[in-house]
Amino acid sequence: MEKDFKPRYELTVMNTLSRKKEKFEPLTPGYVGMYVCGPTVYNEVHLGNCRTFSSFDIIYRYLMYLGYKVRYVRNITDVGHLVGDVDEGEEGKIEKQARIEQLEPMEIVQKYTNLFHSVMHQMNTLSPSIEPTATGHLIEQIEMVKDILANGYAYEQNGSVYFDTQKLVKEGKDVYNYGTISGKKQDDLLTETRDDLKNQSEKRHSSDFAIWIKAGPRDIMKWPSPWSVGFPGWHLECSAMSTKYLGDYFDIHGGGMDLQFPHHENEVAQNVGACGCQPVKYWLHTNMLVLNGKKMSKSKGNSILPHELFTGNNDILSKAYSPMAVKFFMLQAHYASTLNITEKGLQAAEKGYLRLMEAWQILEGLQHDVDEELTGDDAQINKMLDLAFEAMSDDFNTAAALAKLNIIIPKINSLKNGRMEMSAISKATLERTKQVFHDFIFEIFGLLDETKNVEDEDGSNLLDEAMKVIIELRQSARSQKDWATSDLIRDKLQKIGIQIKDGKEEASWIKN
């Protein structure tokens, strides 16, 4: 791409490194390299995980919309990092799940990777450009440990290798001030003891962390290395894979805020230790989805799974919410704010989503043949469209962008009823409104029109008619408390991409 590349709109981003909004200027004009920490595939992703991945999907989409060529790398963590803190004999998460489900660890990995992909598909997120796995990059990780050792930033103890945080604090501070990302004071960092080590006693300092861990007798997922048969430390895969696919220094690194410490702090430490340079220009962190006032978390028993929400099979909410209603709900908050999931919020989002889709359908059907003078309404509409892009270009503020589009919706609704009002806006404004609504809804937000796609070519609705019969049969099974049949119908439909939504009054259905 030419040196004089100009994005459609200038973008500013909130950089965790500086804790300031900065003008976004990628290292190579026109190109963006972005790495996002992916899921650990030992169980189903919960809705909080989905919020983070959905936020980065929109960031990815908007960067492309601005004209950048983006390489988006999102990893799959398929090495089972330890479940608890420090106990000797601690089990890896994937190995533990494998034991519970009586499967091979790699069967667990495949099962939950597939489920993750299907949820991402339901949420209509784009696949990343590269989705590397930790187990597929052991050679790169071992090479990185060698480099860190060679540079004196790590030491070996009894077959495990530890990163020397003290050395980084003393000697690496001109390259990276350890603690910058997490905003922690160095004293706090250096007394921090929590990480996934089995053998705290082997460390020279409590804040040191393992980059290679010697396997214990119970470990199944283990590989040979110059130091021992073992496995890499959790933070290592992201350092090694981001370097491999995006280079020593790249544009954007993302993840949830809960990963700032220790994960991202230690990722930077490893990169500094291996190549003497900081890896990332802009660090972006998404905030947490909150349920019952607390961060959504599966291990704390405070979570809701996407399919529980989409099907209505949960004890928290009174009915099902479709993937697009949920996505719309997430769009209504900026990615860096916490988002509290509530029934009221979801209901409002469902309405808001339908209102937006209806406005789009009206717009799509409007034609304007006569070129007219611009009017006062034109000016107001164009201003709102400009402001929507301004909001989106201000650190991807989907909430503010949506609010601007919402202001135009009553105007669009007033156009649907005939020619009189049509002359209220010019052809040019109508065409622009159509284009901008289209781009925001489908390209930038990645919403799908769930209200459509049931009509047959001849205008009849056989599928809908057939579904009504199925829903009736299921209803009758339920009234006889025949839950097995009712669940069977629901699960079989789910498999073919149809969701039953159980309402208080009556059930309905949508295509996934």
Contacts with ligand AMP by CB under 6 A lie at 37, 39-40, 48-49, 51-52, 255-256, 258-259, 286, 288-289, 295-296
Residues in the chain, total? 512
User: Residue 380 and residue 383: Cα distance in Å, rounded?
Assistant: 5
Rounded least distance, CB 329 to Zn ion, Å? 26
- Which residue has the closest beta carbon to ligand AMP? 256
Whether 153 and 236 have beta carbons less than 8 Å apart is answered as: no
User: Residue 45 and residue 48: Cα distance in Å, rounded?
Assistant: 8
Sign of the CA dihedral with 502 first, then 505, 507, and 509 last: negative
Question: Which pairs with CB-CB distance under 8 Å and at least 24 residues apart come from 90-96?
Answer: 90/196, 90/198, 91/218, 92/219, 92/220, 92/221, 92/231, 93/40, 93/42, 94/40, 94/41, 94/42, 94/221, 95/218, 95/219, 95/220, 95/221, 96/42
Specify burial of residue 290 (Cβ count, 10 A radius: 0-12, 13-18, 19+).
middle
Q: The sheet that has 160-163: what strands, in order across it?
A: 154-157, 160-163, 209-214, 230-232
3-state secondary structure of 206: coil
By CB under 5 A, the count of residues binding Zn ion is 2
Whether 42 and 93 have beta carbons less than 8 Å apart is answered as: yes
Rounded least distance, CB 475 to ligand AMP, Å? 35
Task: Name which of ligand AMP, Zn ion, none residue 271 binds, using a CB cut-off of 5 to 8 Å depending on partner kind.
Answer: none
Rounded least distance, CB 495 to Zn ion, Å? 32
3-state secondary structure of 407: helix
DSSP character at residue 95: H
Rounded least distance, CB 2 to Zn ion, Å? 33
User: Using alpha carbons only, what angle is made at residue 87 by residues 86 and 93, rounded to the nearest 5 degrees?
Assistant: 80
Stretch that binds Zn ion, among 36-44, 359-367, 457-465, 494-502 (CB under 5 A): 36-44
Which of 230, 256 has the CB closer to ligand AMP? Answer: 256
Task: Name which of Zn ion, ligand AMP, none residue 325 binds, using a CB cut-off of 5 to 8 Å depending on partner kind.
Answer: none
Rounded least distance, CB 36 to ligand AMP, Å? 7
Task: Name which of Zn ion, ligand AMP, none residue 61 binds, using a CB cut-off of 5 to 8 Å depending on partner kind.
Answer: none
Which of 36, 272 has the CB closer to ligand AMP? Answer: 36
Which of 209, 360 has the CB closer to ligand AMP? Answer: 209
Rounded least distance, CB 120 to ligand AMP, Å? 12
Which of 37, 444 has the CB closer to ligand AMP? Answer: 37
Which of positions 224-263 make contact with Zn ion (CB under 5 A)?
A: 238
Task: Name which of ligand AMP, Zn ion, none residue 296 binds, using a CB cut-off of 5 to 8 Å depending on partner kind.
Answer: ligand AMP
Amino acid residing at 50: C
Rounded least distance, CB 4 to ligand AMP, Å? 36
Rounded least distance, CB 122 to ligand AMP, Å? 17
Rounded least distance, CB 46 to ligand AMP, Å? 7
Which of 37, 79 has the CB closer to Zn ion? Answer: 37
Which of 37, 70 has the CB closer to Zn ion? Answer: 37
Distances (CA, A) of 323 to 336, 437, 499: 21, 20, 10
Helix 236-246 with 265-275: angle, nearest 10 deg: 60
Q: Quickly list H helices, 416-500.
A: 419-422, 427-438, 462-479, 483-495
Which of 134, 467 has the CB closer to ligand AMP? Answer: 134
User: Using alpha carbons only, what angle is made at residue 193 by residues 189 and 196, rounded to the nearest 5 degrees?
Assistant: 115
Task: Name which of ligand AMP, Zn ion, none residue 238 binds, using a CB cut-off of 5 to 8 Å depending on partner kind.
Answer: Zn ion
Which of 15, 393 has the CB closer to ligand AMP? Answer: 15
Rounded least distance, CB 274 to Zn ion, Å? 15
Which of 142, 384 has the CB closer to Zn ion? Answer: 142
Distances (CA, A) of 130 to 242, 281, 419: 10, 20, 50
Which of 40, 141 has the CB closer to ligand AMP? Answer: 40
User: Residue 174 and residue 167: Cα distance in Å, rounded?
Assistant: 12
User: Residue 403 and residue 328: Cα distance in Å, rounded?
Assistant: 12
Which of 339, 500 has the CB closer to ligand AMP? Answer: 339
Rounded least distance, CB 112 to ligand AMP, Å? 10
Task: Name which of ligand AMP, Zn ion, none residue 52 binds, using a CB cut-off of 5 to 8 Å depending on partner kind.
Answer: ligand AMP
The reply to whether 142 sits near Zn ion by the rule CB under 5 A is no
Task: Name which of Zn ion, ligand AMP, none residue 289 binds, using a CB cut-off of 5 to 8 Å depending on partner kind.
Answer: ligand AMP
The reply to whether 37 sits near Zn ion by the rule CB under 5 A is yes
3-state secondary structure of 370: coil
Give the pairing of strands 339-340 and 289-291.
parallel
Whether 427 and 375 have beta carbons less than 8 Å apart is answered as: no
Using CB under 5 A as the criterion, which residues of the chain lie in contact with Zn ion when the complex forms? Answer: 37, 238
